[in-house]
Every structure is written in structure tokens, then in C-alpha cells.
């Protein structure tokens, strides 16, 4: 009994250390977010004086991405709390660095059609904020699998992360052809929150698909990467099918794209349903592979 209580107290101690370090990582993360990524952003001014919801949405997505990225190491065992703290600090610094790099990639290649910083800070564009938040969360999901595990090393993790970012760019480029409307023009010119929400859901689902594909233990470049790519391609095709089925099953008699694009006031509910279809499908596919 005493041993059980002792083990339980030890677990509680490690959890407390984890929470302290994670919140310290949050503080560092928001600091570098302002100083390196959003240099024109005065966070307290935008959030609590101007009450800018777009900034809050983008920032929460960034925080959420950090949490998910750290999740790859939180569940790993450690000899003592000191080792756990060191692991978390190391991984936390890595996650923040790669989250910022992923944010820059998203802004330059996914949201390249307009100035995302201006849209979020000056125009309070909820659609643009939704997409940025979705990109942050997707990046966190990719990092979760890329950095987790004890096989492969940092070079494998880096390659998996880069493949994940490339997948996000490709999917976001193909997406307007599937929806048959200019998603990015809708977000920029009409401040369309529904269009941004739907695209954000797709990005999150894609990030989750990448997480699923790369979560298997690395067994060598020639063995593992064909397996990774096969799973990734299969899951992405499944997402396309899910997008088609969403119109038929979730909202029979209604075309989701019309509700998002062809309405005088874009239907945010339709955007939410489309986003849900993507994210739910990605988790269902993941559970099938587990």
C-alpha cells in the first residue's frame, strides 16, 4: 500500500513538473510569436483594448499546436522529474522553433495570395484567422508524430515534418479546384469566415492524416518511407471522398459550397459542418489504422 501511495505521489510530482514546464513553454512561445513572427502585434492591445477576435483565434490555434506538439513527449516515461523536465525543455524549444517555421511556411505558401498579418490585425478578418489557426494546429499534429518515439533520430523527424508541410501546401492548392470557388478571394475580399473555417478544418484533418501516416516506428528509409507515403496517399484520397459524401449524407438536398460561397451572408454553419466532416473523417481513418 505504501509503495502504491509512493508511486502515485511520484506520478503527481512529475505531472506538476510537466504542467509548470508546459506553461513556461507557452510564455516563451507567445513571446517569440510577437517578436519573431508577428512583429507588428501588440498582444495585450489587440486582445484587451481593441477586442480583436481574429488575433485571439490565430493565437489560440498557435497555442493549441504547441500543446499537441508537446503531446508526443508528455506520455514518455522518465527516471525522475529532473530528466522529465530536461526532456520537456528540449522538446519545448524544438516545438516552438518548428511551430514558428511552420507558421512562416503557411503564410508564404498557403496564404500567399494576401497579407495575412494585415488581414488579421488591421481588418480583423475571421476567415484568415481561422486558416492561420488551422495551419498552426495542423503543424502541431505533424510535430506530434515527427518528434515522438525513440527510433529514427532527428534527421528522420525533420524529413517527416518537411513532408507534412509540403502535404499541407499541396492540399491547400488543390482545395479551390474541389470546391469550385476561389477560397482565398472569398477570405480576403469578403472576409468570409465560413470559407476560412472549412479550409481550416481541411488543414487540421490533413495534419492529423500526416500524424497517422508517420506514427509507425521507423525501420529504415527503404522500409518505412514507402509505408508512410502509401498510408498518406490512401488517407488523402479518403478525405476527397468524404468531402463528396458530406453533401449527400450530412446535409442531404443542400450543397455546402453554395451555402459558403453563393450566399449574400456566408453560412458559417455550413463551413463548420464541412470542417467537421474533414476532421471527423481523419480521426475515423486513424482509429481504423490503430
Arithmetic mean of pLDDT, 170-182: 89
pLDDT recorded at residue 196:
96
Arithmetic mean of pLDDT, 155-180: 90
Arithmetic mean of pLDDT, 38-48: 88
- Nearest Cα to Cα of residue 141 among 197, 209, 94, 92: 209
Are the CB atoms for 270 and 259 separated by under 8 Å?
yes
- In percent, the amount of the chain with pLDDT more than 90 equals 43
pLDDT at 84 over 90: no
pLDDT recorded at residue 103:
95
Domain count, the chain: 1
217 versus 33: the higher-pLDDT residue is: 33
pLDDT recorded at residue 187:
94
Helices (H), the chain: 2-32, 43-44, 53-74, 81-105, 116-121, 126-147, 153-179, 183-189, 193-213, 221-249, 256-261, 268-289
- Nearest Cα to Cα of residue 110 among 180, 21, 154, 174: 174
Among the listed ranges 17-26, 61-70, 197-206, which one has the minimum average pLDDT value? 17-26
Extract the C-alpha cell encoding 77: 516515461
245 versus 91: the higher-pLDDT residue is: 91
pLDDT recorded at residue 102:
95
Host domain of residue 275: 2-289
Q: How confident is the model at residue 191 (pLDDT cuts 50, 70, 90)?
A: very high
* CB environment 163-176: b (16+ within 10 A), e (fewer): bbbebbbebbeebb
DSSP category for residue 218:
P
pLDDT recorded at residue 76:
61
pLDDT recorded at residue 77:
58
Nearest 5 degrees, angle CA 171-CA 60-CA 77?
Answer: 85
The mean predicted confidence, pLDDT, of the chain is 86
Q: What is d(CA 67, CA 246) in angstroms, rounded to the nearest whole number?
A: 29
pLDDT in tens, 109-125: 998 888 899 999 999 99
- Nearest Cα to Cα of residue 137 among 212, 62, 235: 62
Among the listed ranges 103-112, 138-147, 233-242, 254-263, which one has the minimum average pLDDT value? 233-242
pLDDT recorded at residue 81:
65
Arithmetic mean of pLDDT, 17-29: 85
- Nearest Cα to Cα of residue 203 among 135, 129, 117: 135
pLDDT recorded at residue 147:
82
Q: What is d(CA 258, CA 129) in angstroms, rounded to the nearest whole number?
A: 22
Extract the C-alpha cell encoding 160: 517527416
pLDDT at 105 over 90: yes
pLDDT recorded at residue 16:
82
DSSP letters for 113-147: TS-HHHHHHTS--HHHHHHHHHHHHHHHHHHHHHH
Arithmetic mean of pLDDT, 14-37: 85
pLDDT at 263 over 60: yes
Arithmetic mean of pLDDT, 210-217: 84
Q: How confident is the model at residue 14 (pLDDT cuts 50, 70, 90)?
A: confident
Amino acid at each position: 500500500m505504501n509503495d502504491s501511495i509512493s508511486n502515485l505521489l511520484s506520478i503527481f510530482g512529475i505531472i506538476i513538473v510537466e504542467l509548470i514546464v508546459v506553461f513556461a513553454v507557452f510564455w516563451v512561445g507567445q513571446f517569440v510569436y510577437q517578436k519573431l513572427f508577428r512583429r507588428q502585434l501588440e498582444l495585450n492591445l489587440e486582445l484587451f483594448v481593441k477586442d480583436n477576435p481574429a488575433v485571439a483565434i490565430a493565437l489560440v490555434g498557435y497555442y493549441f499546436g504547441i500543446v499537441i506538439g508537446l503531446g508526443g513527449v508528455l506520455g514518455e516515461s522518465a527516471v525522475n522529474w529532473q530528466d522529465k523536465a530536461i526532456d520537456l525543455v528540449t522538446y519545448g524549444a524544438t516545438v516552438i522553433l518548428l511551430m514558428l517555421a511552420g507558421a512562416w511556411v503557411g503564410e508564404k505558401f498557403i496564404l500567399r495570395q494576401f497579407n495575412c498579418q494585415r488581414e488579421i490585425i488591421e481588418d480583423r478578418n475571421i476567415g484568415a484567422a481561422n486558416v492561420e489557426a488551422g495551419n498552426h494546429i495542423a503543424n502541431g499534429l505533424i510535430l506530434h508524430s515527427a518528434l515522438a518515439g525513440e527510433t529514427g533520430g532527428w534527421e528522420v523527424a525533420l524529413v517527416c515534418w518537411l513532408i507534412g508541410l509540403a502535404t499541407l501546401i499541396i492540399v491547400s492548392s488543390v482545395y479551390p479546384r474541389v470546391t469550385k470557388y476561389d477560397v482565398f478571394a472569398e477570405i480576403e475580399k469578403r472576409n468570409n469566415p465560413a470559407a476560412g473555417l472549412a479550409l481550416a478544418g481541411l488543414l487540421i484533418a490533413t495534419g492529423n492524416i500526416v500524424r497517422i501516416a508517420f506514427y509507425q516506428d521507423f525501420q529504415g528509409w527503404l522500409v518505412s518511407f514507402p509505408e508512410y507515403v502509401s498510408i498518406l496517399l490512401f488517407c488523402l484520397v479518403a478525405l476527397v471522398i468524404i468531402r463528396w459524401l458530406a453533401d449527400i449524407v450530412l446535409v442531404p438536398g443542400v450543397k455546402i459550397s453554395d451555402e459558403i460561397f453563393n450566399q449574400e451572408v456566408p453560412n458559417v454553419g455550413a463551413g463548420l459542418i464541412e470542417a467537421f466532416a474533414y476532421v471527423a473523417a481523419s480521426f475515423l481513418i486513424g482509429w481504423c489504422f490503430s
